[in-house]
Structure 1
Amino acid sequence: MSDVPEQQAATPAAPMTRRERRARSSNSPTTLPKRALLARPLTIAATVAFAALVGLTGYASPDFVALAVALAGLVVAWGWPQLLSLPSPRGTSAVLTVGTVLMTGTVLLTRDEPFLQWMPAAMAISVIVAFLHQLMRRDGRPRLTESVSASVMGLAIISAGIALAPVPQFLDGEHALAASMAGLGVGVLADPLIKVQRLRQWALFISMFIGGAAGMAVSFAAGEPKPWSAALLGLLAAAVSHAARRVMAVLPATAMPRAQLAVGASSSLLVGVVAYVVVRSSFFV
């Protein structure tokens, strides 16, 4: 017979501290859902199509680049609410459409440096429209914070893509844009590697390698920009877009065609600000 009193034996264990809970969660293996390990064909096709369209329009006119980016922005506006399962999809699509039109218009109407000088104003108006959308909702405003943050995030992604429009106006900008798009379009071909367990952890680095090689190939073919600058553009474009697709791959809605197109368009638009910064930096000169 045990000497421990029955009341003392029934005493519950003390709750774990935050440090103990973090330690336990860090020791437990993290298993990704199966959907995160699938290569979505529509996403790959949308990324390649965007890269080809923007790369070719860069040799025609910066205005055509802006229109190509606007087309991708409209795709994001169409599929973003479904991708994130937002409570007011039509209103969110309207907000992103208004933001795309405003930000594209500021670039089309600006002919001198700085080419993006009116972008902050267009972005600010778009964010105000996003808040007005929430005020006009008649559904009780469920998941209000999530809806607002998703709208602002979508606007930020579109604004990043708009930065591609003025790139052809800089020195050797059309070739730099082509190098970036080559890295984007070729780098996405590494996405199916996430299905192979041994290659899954190397998929990002393989995407960066082949993206950099594609950018350098554009440099050798066109003669401009410098090979290492073109390789950097291709490498960064492939890395940013691949990382964005991997982050969004865990969302349940990625099984739907519209959401897959939104993933391809949004991950491609994020490349814009990277290409703009590299072209404007001293490294590119």
Structure 2
Amino acid sequence: MPLVSDVPEQAPNPAVPLTRRERRATAQHARPALPRRALVARPLAIAATIAFAALVALTGYASPGFVALAVALAGFVLAWGWPLLLSLPSPRGTSGVLAIGTVLMTGTALATRDDPYLEWMPAALAVSVIVAFLHQLMRRDGRPRLTESVAATVSGLAIISAGTALAPIPHVLVGEHALAATMAGLGVGALADPLISVKRLRQWALFIAMLLGGGAAVLVSALAGGPMTGPAALLGLMAAAISHAARRVLAPLPATAMPRAQLAVAAASSLLVGVVAYVVVRYFVA
């Protein structure tokens, strides 16, 4: 007579469908856990993002040249902290390449007075990429992690070029008001970042940031007599969503605990909204 312990366990029948609770539990166990640092709000990154948004919004009412200089300031901050944030080899050389790219792309924005305002931007970006490859050729450390270094440098240049697209926005009709609405969405949307520390609200943080950003953009646009409600809401929603998503993507990096890296995160998440804002303004506002 066989013992109970000798009876083999029956495998679960794959034909029997799982309940909704079982599927949710299985998915949670299969999902890799995020590091704790990815779930911590960085006050310095939030404050720097709000400061950049305020600076660009104010300079938009002065002149497009001042907007270009404000974007250049963010580009230099990114050049300073990007190698540390990504733990890149040859950090000084990478910072130098990004700084040169910032100067070149800002120069094209300042020199171009007529439409198309970004006519020389591709040329400046191409020269910056060539400088990035020359930097790799001139390295004397055996060029470890070459592919990673090139990819990170070119990504930094792309982020700076995206931010430079903010400079020509005041040139178009009611462009200064559209730029203020965009920056309102960027700055107010950053206030939703602390929600990532709250477990129940974590998955809603992006949606809440978009609501805050869109509402702030509509309010600023209405007070300033700027673009219609629809384009203003779109500008605020997109600025808040892109910026929040960028900070969430960069949050798991180990260096984000350092103030210098947090400033780089703020600069990157702020500059990325530029090209999207430019497209929306040109096609829906101007």
* TM-score of the alignment, normalized to the shorter chain, above 0.5: yes
Alpha-carbon distance between aligned partners in 2 of 1:202 and 1:95, rounded to the nearest angstrom: 38
Structure 2 residue aligned with 1:54: 56
For the residues of structure 2 that align with 1:29 and 1:259, how far apart are their CA atoms? 28
- Maintained 8 Å contact 2:180/2:221: no
Amino acid in the other structure paired with 1:163:
A
Equivalence for 1:96? 98
**Superposition RMSD on alpha carbons, in Å?**
1.3
Does residue 1:156 correspond to 2:142, yes or no? no
Letter in 1 for 2:181: A
Secondary structure in 2 matching 1:197: coil
Q: Of 199, 207, 210, which aligns to 1:208?
A: 210
Q: Percent identity?
A: 76
Matched, 1:74 2:76: yes
Please report how far the alpha carbon of residue 201 of structure 1 lies from its aligned counterpart in structure 2 after TM superposition: 0.2
Structure-1 separation of matches of 2:193 and 2:212 = 12
Distance 1:65 1:205 in 2: 29
Please give the per-residue CA displacement for 1:121-148, whole angstroms capped at 9, x wherever unaligned: 0000000000000000000000000000
Cα separation, 2, equivalents of 1:28 and 1:211 = 33
Which of 244, 247, 256 does residue 246 from structure 2 map onto?
244
Deviations 1:65-97 (A, max 9, x none): 000000000000000000000011000000000
Q: Which amino acid is 2:46 matched to?
A: I
Amino acid at match of 2:213: G
Aligned to 1:255: 257
Match in the other structure for 2:40: 38
2:178 alignment counterpart: 176
In the alignment, the residues of structure 1 paired with residue 220 and residue 171 of structure 2 have an alpha-carbon distance, to the nearest angstrom, of: 18
Query: Hey, what does 2:197 align to over in structure 1?
Result: 195
- Which moves more between the two structures, 179-188 or 25-34? 25-34
* 1:25–1:121 CA distance, 2 compared to 1 (3 A): farther
Letter in 2 for 1:264: A
Which residue number corresponds to residue 116 of structure 1? Answer: 118
Q: Which secondary structure state, in structure 1, belongs to the residue aligned with residue 285 of structure 2?
A: coil
SS of the aligned residue for 1:184 comes to helix
After TM superposition, what 4+ stretches of structure 1 lie above 4 angstroms from structure 2?
A: 24-27
Picking from 58, 63, 66, the partner of 2:65 is 63
Distance 1:219 1:99 in 2: 33
Give the partner amino acid of 2:115. Answer: E
Which whole-Å CA distance do the structure 2 matches of 1:41 and 1:51 have between them?
A: 15
The residue that corresponds to 1:273 in the other structure is 275
Q: Offset of 1:26 from its aligned partner?
A: 9.6
* Shift, 1:284, TM fit: 2.6
SS at match of 2:249: helix
- Find 1:147's aligned residue among 146, 149, 152: 149
Amino acid at match of 1:98: I
**Matched residue, 1:284:** 285
Q: Deviations over 1:164-219 (max 9, x none)?
A: 00000001100000000000000000000000000000000000001000000012
Total equivalences in the alignment:
261
Alpha-carbon offset, residue 27 of structure 1: 6.5
SS at structure 2 position matched to 1:198: coil
Q: CA deviation at 1:28?
A: 1.5
* Alignment gaps of 5+ in structure 2: 1-25
2:200 match: secondary structure: helix
Measure the CA separation in 2 of the matches of 1:197 and 1:249: 16
SS in 2 for 1:202: helix
Q: Partners of 1:273 and 1:183 in 2: how far apart?
A: 15
1:152 CA displacement: 0.1
CA gap 1:32/1:212 in 2 versus in 1, 3 angstroms: same
Q: TM-score, normalised by structure 1?
A: 0.90
